Amino acid sequence: MKKRMTINIVEQKFASFFREQRRMPTYSEMLPLLGIKAKSAAEYWIKKLLDKGTLEKDAKGFLKPAHLSFNLPLVGNVAAGFPSPAEEELRDTISFDEYLINNSTASFVLSVTGDSMIDEGIKEKDLVIVERGREPKNGDIILAEVDGNWTMKYFYKKGKKITLEAANPKYPPIIPKEELQIAGVITAVVRKYHK
């Protein structure tokens, strides 16, 4: 028997596609994804999701998940009464490991020393996840060796000029003179309060 489509099931299918592919499906990919034959049916569901606020259209009219729709580990919406275990089963959960770590073979842990990123909320003894081999973007926090010293700073690049800025007014921005060796990009911060 054909399973009845509900908006929740459609949402989960989009979410799992997005988690795997990290992009939205095209209309032709929606057909096998939703098990439908006509693109107009896809259109129908898209409209429902747009109305519900799960999806949004960007400036160019491309579909994108609305703010944080698919990124957090989803557990079934707890309805009043007994939650259906089946629904929980359908929704995919991710572990904190997966949530915090993007590339597990390239990620290292660093225990923070110093207060240069204090205004970013990174304190001494916090653990940061450093991902090696990732190209830093403007505003990323990077771990780097500058002229022989190790430092953790915001990374800014304008043209060819690279500036490293602290999140603490005590420290002036650094412009690497001799050498800049980027060890990795900080992808997450972890602070644990209790054992």
Partner 1 sequence: MSDQLFSLHSWPRAIAHIDGDAFFTSCEEAIHPELKGKALITGGERGIVACASYPAKKLGIKRGVPLHEARRICPGLIILPSDYETYSLFSRRMFCIMQRFTPDVEEYSIDEAFADITGMRRALRSSYEEIVVKMKKEIETELGITVSVGLSITKVLAKAASKHQKPAGITIIRGRDIADYLRNLPVEKVWGIGNATTNYLAKMGIHFALEFAQLPEKKVRDKFTKPGVEIWQELRGESVYPVTTEEKSSYASISKTKTFVPPTSNAEYLFAHLMRNIESACIKARRYSLAPNRIGIFLKKNNFNTVGNEAKLSRPCAFPLEISGIIHDLFASCYCLKDIYRSTGVVLLDLEPDTNIQYSLFDDPIKAEKIKELYNVADELGKKFGKHALHLGSSHPIDKLGKGRRGTPTIREQTQLKGETQRRHLGLPLLHVKP
- Binding residues for partner 1, per CB under 8 A? 101, 103-114, 116, 127, 129-130, 132-133, 143, 145, 150-152, 183, 192, 195
Residue 142's CB is within 10 A of a number of other CB atoms, namely 21
Residue 148 CB, shortest distance to partner 1, in Å, is 9
Is residue 182 within a helix (H) or strand (E), and if so which, with residue range?
A: strand 180-190
Q: Is 116 a catalytic residue?
A: yes
38: left (phi over 0), alpha (psi -120 to 50) or beta: beta
- Cα gap 124→191, rounded to integer Å: 10
Choose the catalytic residue: 2, 28, 153, 161: 153
Residue 195 CB, shortest distance to partner 1, in Å, is 5
Helix (H, G, I), strand (E, B) or coil at 66: coil
Helix (H, G, I), strand (E, B) or coil at 142: strand
Residue 130 CB, shortest distance to partner 1, in Å, is 6
Residue 184 CB, shortest distance to partner 1, in Å, is 8
Task: Answer for the pair 115, 123: CB distance below 8 angstroms, yes or no.
Answer: yes
Q: Which is nearer to partner 1, 125 or 158 (CB)?
A: 125
Q: Which is nearer to partner 1, 87 or 145 (CB)?
A: 145
Q: Is 153 a catalytic residue?
A: yes
Helix (H, G, I), strand (E, B) or coil at 8: helix
Choose the catalytic residue: 13, 69, 107, 116: 116
Q: Which is nearer to partner 1, 48 or 132 (CB)?
A: 132
Q: Which is nearer to partner 1, 55 or 144 (CB)?
A: 144
